[in-house]
Structure 1
Amino acid sequence: MGTNPPVCDFGAPIHDFSLPGTDGKTWTLADVKGEKGTLVMFICNHCPYVMAVIDRIVRDAKELQALGVGVVAISSNDVVTYPQDGPEHMVTLAEEHGFTFPYLYDESQDVARAYEAACTPDFFGYNAAGELQYRGRLDESRREAAPADVRRDLFEAMKLVAATGKGPQEQVASIGCSIKWKD
Structure 2
Amino acid sequence: MAAVPPVCDFGWKGVDAILPGVDGNEHQLSEHVGPGGLVVAFICNHCPYVKAVIGRIVRDANDLRGHGVGFVAINSNDAVAYPEDSFARMQEFSREHRMSFPYLHDADQSIARAYGAVCTPDFFGFNADMKLQYRGRLDASRSTAGPEDLRRDLYEAMVQIAQSGEGPREQVASMGCSIKWKDGGDWA
TM (normalized to structure 1)?
A: 0.99
The residue correspondences of 1:74-93 to structure 2 (distance < 5 A) are: 74-93=74-93
Structure 1 CA distance for aligned equivalents of residues 28 and 91 of structure 2? 18
Unaligned 5+ segments in structure 1 are none
Letter in 2 for 1:109: Q
Amino acid paired to 2:97? H
2:73 is matched with: 73
The superposition leaves residues 47-102 of structure 1 with CA deviations (integer Å, 9 ceiling, x where unpaired) of 00000000000000000112100100000000010010011010011111111100
Aligned equivalent of 1:43: 43
- Partner of residue 8, structure 2: 8
* Structure 1 SS opposite 2:3: coil
The equivalences for 1:22-171 within 5 A come to: 22-171=22-171
* Equivalent position amino acid for 1:41 in 2: A
User: In structure 1, how many angstroms separate the alpha carbons of the residues matched to 2:172 and 2:49?
Assistant: 16
Structure 1 position 33, deviation (Å): 1.4
Report how many aligned residue pairs link the two structures: 183
Distance 1:93 1:84 in 2: 10
The Cα offsets for residues 1-39 of structure 1, whole Å up to 9 and x where unpaired, read as 210000000000011011000000000023211111010
| Structure 2 unmatched runs, 5+ | 184-188
RMSD of aligned alpha carbons: 0.6
- Classify the secondary structure of the residue corresponding to 1:39: strand
Distance in 1, Cα, partners of 2:98 & 2:163: 27
Q: Where do 4+ consecutive residues of structure 1 move more than 2 Å?
A: none
User: Which residue number in structure 2 is paired with residue 173 of structure 1?
Assistant: 173
3-state secondary structure, aligned to 1:14 = coil
Q: TM-score, normalised by structure 2?
A: 0.96
Describe the superposition over 1:82-124 as per-residue Cα deviations: whole angstroms up to 9, x where unpaired: 0100110100111111111000000000000010000000000
Q: Distance in 2 between matches of 1:41 and 1:149?
A: 22
3-state DSSP of counterpart to 1:125: strand
Q: Is the partner of 2:128 in helix, strand or coil?
A: coil
Identity of aligned residues (%): 60
SS in 2 for 1:79: coil
